[in-house]
Structure 1
Amino acid sequence: MIKLGIDAPHGSRTSQVVQVLETDIEIQTLWYMANRTSKRAAVNDHGPIHVRTVMHHGDNLLRFLMEAGIQPNSVVDHAMTADDARVVVLLGLALHDVGMSIHRDRHELLSVPIALDWLRRKLPPIYVEPQLTVIISEVCHAVLAHNVNERTLTLEAGIVKVA
């Protein structure tokens, strides 16, 4: 099991989500399979090391932007917290390439239903309705929008795209 090395206050939603990601055999196997596909397709690493790297990049980008006074859409649009915005970014990055467990081509489209299913099963009780559906929707937007041809409609999705 890969350790992601993401620091978060104990008990925060970010901390809880990171713990799930670090201990969930299903997500870790999806990352492994995404890396197998990347090797078969002769493209760069898209497995657990890639996930850990982009999660750190995205986490830093979100922090820098918030320190500069730029508020994420989770906060502005949904009256959620900075911790919730961090969850959206980190989960978007953790799940953006899971469709590569099936195929490299159009993997963003494949990633969305896999992410949706995984999030519906793994996020409760960290989130309950209606916040659960808001978080899932924002994460799935970020997953889909990481494709260069898709528009990003949120700051969080933009971070996932460039991280």
Structure 2
Amino acid sequence: MKLNIPTENERLKRLIQRVEEDKELEELWRCSNVNAIDRLGFTDHGPVHVKIVANAALRLSHLLEGVEKPGVVEDHHLPQEYSEIVVFLAAVLHDLGMVVQREEHEKYSVVLAHHFLQKLLYDYPPEERAIITSEVLHAITSHYSGVCLTKEAGILCIADALDMEKGRARIPFDAGKVDIHSVSALAIENVEVLKGEKKPVVIRIKMSNSAGIFQVDQLLRERIRKSGLQDYIEVIAEISETEKKILHRFELR
């Protein structure tokens, strides 16, 4: 699967190609959606989600390059380019645990990710492979629960929440799952990660209905706070002048 990730980082380019060519990994992404969408009626946790999160995470990594030292730089004294590697690998592997179970899926993701990290990093020196693996596994388990102890983990935590546009919620909504999560997500028309003026990053969200505030105020706000990077991120949510009706009727059952 093509991830369409632009980068000048040569190490990262090679890893992107390896991920794109890994048929086992691609099949597990599909299996994640069998559980998430087909069996549980949840939103996409498969290939499209992975692509969106990976691109958003690397975009955040680039915009935040001048603030806070990454874990691999601060604690392991590796070059800056390795931080992008950690962010990318964590992004493409973070939801693999959905093939096992939704509850505590991040913990199952850690187990499954270890196998792929050894494959993808086969030509790295053992010491570097161990460091990258440890940092990726921390970021994965921290994206949903636990504490983000590194910049890379915080970036993944936010990037995961940025996949909130209406296309992701359409499947469960059309299947009859009508709740504040699906309705509010359907109100999100567009999400952009841009270079900010007041802060390094501005996340600009366009909504067609005020219900989208739930996604921003309850979900994204918590992820940004949890990331430890809240001082560097500004969020602007704009509602169209003419609000689009999402529901015509709602019944409690």
* TM-score scaled by length of structure 1: 0.92
Gaps of 5+ in 1: none
Measure how far apart 1:90 and its partner are: 0.6
In the alignment, does 2:146 pair up with 1:150? yes
> Among residues 111, 116, 125, which one is paired with 1:113 in the alignment?
111
Task: Show the counterpart of 2:62.
Answer: 63
> Using CA pairs below 8 Å that are at least 6 residues apart, which structure has the higher relative contact order?
1
Q: Is contact 2:71–2:135 with CA below 8 Å preserved after alignment?
A: no
Partner of residue 134, structure 1: 131
Larger radius of gyration: 2
Task: Tell whether the 8 Å contact from 2:97 to 2:109 is kept in structure 1 after alignment.
Answer: yes
* Residue matched to 1:82: 80
Paired residue type of 1:155: K
Partner of 1:78: helix, strand, or coil? Answer: coil
C-alpha distance in structure 1 between counterparts of 2:110 and 2:99, whole Å: 12
Amino acid at match of 1:141: H
CA distance in 1, matches of 2:6, 2:125: 24
- Bigger strand share: 2
**How far apart are residue 43 of structure 1 and its match?**
1.2
Alpha-carbon distance between aligned partners in 1 of 2:72 and 2:120, rounded to the nearest angstrom? 20
Shift of 1:71: 2.3
Deviations 1:8-62 (A, max 9, x none): 237x210111011100001111111111111121111111000000111100111
Tell me the secondary structure at the aligned position of residue 75 of structure 2: helix
Give the CA RMSD over aligned residues: 1.2
| Deviating 4+ runs (over 3 angstroms) | none
Q: Aligned ranges for residues 26-65 of structure 1 at < 5 Å?
A: 26-39=24-37, 40-65=39-64
CA contact (8 A) 2:72 2:83 kept: yes
Matches of 1:121 and 1:128, distance apart in 2? 13
Shift of 1:75: 1.3
- How much does 1:123 deviate? 1.0
**Structure 2 CA distance for aligned equivalents of residues 128 and 98 of structure 1:** 26
**Contact 1:37–1:101 (Cα < 8 Å) also in 2:** yes
State the Cα distance separating 1:80 from its structure 2 match: 1.1
Measure the CA separation in 2 of the matches of 1:56 and 1:62.
10
Gap runs ≥5 in structure 2: 160-253
